[in-house]
A = this chain, B = another copy of it.
Amino acid sequence: MSIQKPSIPKGTRDFGPAVVARRNYIFGVIRRTFELFGYAPLETPTLENLSVLTGKYGDEGDQLLFKVLNSGDFLKDVAPDDIAEGTRKVLPKIAEKGLRYDLTVPFARYVVMNRGTLTFPFKRYQIQPVWRADRPQRGRYREFYQCDADVVGTDSLLCEAEIVLMMCEVLNGIGLTDFTIKINHRGVLRNIYQALGSEGKESDLFVAIDKLDKIGREGVEKELAERGFSTQASAYLFELLATSGSYGEKLEKLDAAFQKADLPSETEGSDGSAYKGLRDLREVQNYLTSFGFTQFDKLEFDPTLARGLSYYTGCIFEIKINNVKIGSVSGGGRYDNLTGAFGLAGVSGVGFSFGVDRLYDCLEELNLFPPNAATTTRCLVVNFDEEAGRSVLPVLRQLRAAGIPSELYHTPDKLVKQFKYADQKGVPYVLLQGSEERAQNLFKLKNMSTGHEQLLALDDVLSKLTQ
């Protein structure tokens, strides 16, 4: 076994103690919020059959799946001639498993496999890592956590309203208060497409709109022209998208525009809008009002929000943190056929997801991590000499019995070295009992950040450290 300089794969990370503690702080707030709203935890395997994963994320996704070699003689079905035919021929013969790519497809698989025993509506949350063979770059990793909550088996818009509430609860919970929740509806996008005279391809329109943030109006116009939309349609699009005002005002303006464009009414006798997208968005607003929701200034109806294409069919969401330059920290939406690929049709659901890496970066940039988010020893007991080190062990036991993470310095050593250890580890308190203190049956407790020392009885030490 030769000696080697070790490394970790590109796009992966080690998380040391301080970072784990801070990540767990974020996970904790998310988990508590999901549970408060009745979502229950699910965990699926890291390894999934490629038959489950392939074809669910588009061609690009298939490329980005990490594939796992079959164990044993993985070449047993491969002929030399197969090599010339390339990976498409060889892959199915040597790999039948892959790494989880997101939490949505495994969730759909789980629901279908367990449909006989699950209680619907089924509300689950899932906080697990996923893997993508993307080119690693700043802020983009090959292994990263997703935090998803989904409910399937109901089309009640109460779920959408509660997603808005959960988003607010999590962000306020971790101190990120300057945010905007953008909401739109696939039906609204479809109506916009219809209002434009159904030129070009519907999906091309959504893709172009989605890029507005990145390439600006001019860029979108150019792209639309290339994709077969007339200048007139393009101009009308921007008139629609420029609709301004509050959430409710925008709904009304778009409704008027759709009526003016003479779009076919989607409902009979509804007391809301004649268009399902607008009606759903109004309903979400009504639910939030009934809840006593007070943060409507943070909720923006954004008709330019498209969120890719994949499986969304109803409301779609995205969260922007306004005081940090970073992409969206959360997104989601309603889908009507998530489980269809696995043979279970007609199950409507809605879900959303937090990106913990981005939330972490936001908290770090804004200095919002609570000081106690770093889990470490709270009290280091000084080890004066062999005998004193032993005599203080019952004290160590009592500290721990009181729930105070504590340790004795591992060996008798110079005081300066023991203090340095506490300092480097960020241990907030050091407890000493030299011969003088022992004679009095007292302890010296030193606060490492202030340097303040107190002479205390053990009971007082315990109550001070459990504060």
Binding site for B on A (CB under 8 A): 1, 3-9, 12-17, 20-21, 24, 35-38, 40-49, 51-52, 55-56, 63-64, 66-69, 71-75, 78-84, 86-87, 90-91, 94-97, 99, 109-110, 112-114, 119, 121, 123-124, 129, 131, 133, 142-143, 151, 154, 156, 158-159, 165, 286-287, 290-292, 340-343, 375-377, 389-391, 393-394, 396-397, 400, 403-408, 410-411, 421, 424-425
Contact = CB atoms under 8 A, between A and B. Distances in A.
Contacts of A40: 17, 20-21, 375-377
Given A4-B51, A9-B97, A17-B42, 13 more contacts: A6-B49, A8-B48, A8-B52, A14-B43, A15-B42, A20-B43, A38-B407, A69-B94, A80-B81, A158-B411, A290-B391, A290-B394, A291-B393
Nearest to A423: B119
The 7 closest A-B pairs by CB, nearest first: A38-B407, A17-B40, A12-B45, A71-B133, A80-B80, A20-B41, A38-B377
A15 B90 CA distance: 33
29 contacts: A1-B55, A1-B341, A5-B343, A7-B49, A8-B45, A8-B109, A14-B42, A15-B44, A17-B42, A20-B41, A36-B400, A37-B400, A38-B377, A38-B407, A40-B377, A46-B46, A66-B68, A67-B69, A72-B133, A80-B81, A80-B83, A82-B83, A154-B410, A156-B410, A158-B411, A287-B393, A290-B390, A291-B393, A292-B394
A81 B82 CA distance: 11
A90 B66 CA distance: 18
B83 A46 contact: no
A72 B52 CA distance: 20
A340 B287 CA distance: 62
Contacts of A165: 397
Contacts of A45: 8-9, 12-14, 143
A405 B35 contact: yes
**Residue with the highest number of chain B CB atoms closer than 10 Å, among A40, A142, A143:** A40
B410 A158 contact: yes
Contacts of A143: 45-47
A376 B439 CA distance: 54
A70 to B, nearest CB: 9
A342 B4 contact: yes
A21 B41 contact: yes
A120 to B, nearest CB: 9
B4 A48 contact: no
B6 A38 contact: no
A360 to B, nearest CB: 13
A276 to B, nearest CB: 18
Nearest to A339: B6
Contacts of A87: 73-75
A44 B75 CA distance: 31
Nearest to A112: B6
Contacts of A36: 400, 403-406
Contact of A79 (B8, B9, B83, B287): B83
A14 B110 contact: yes
Contacts of A408: 158
Contacts of A376: 38, 40
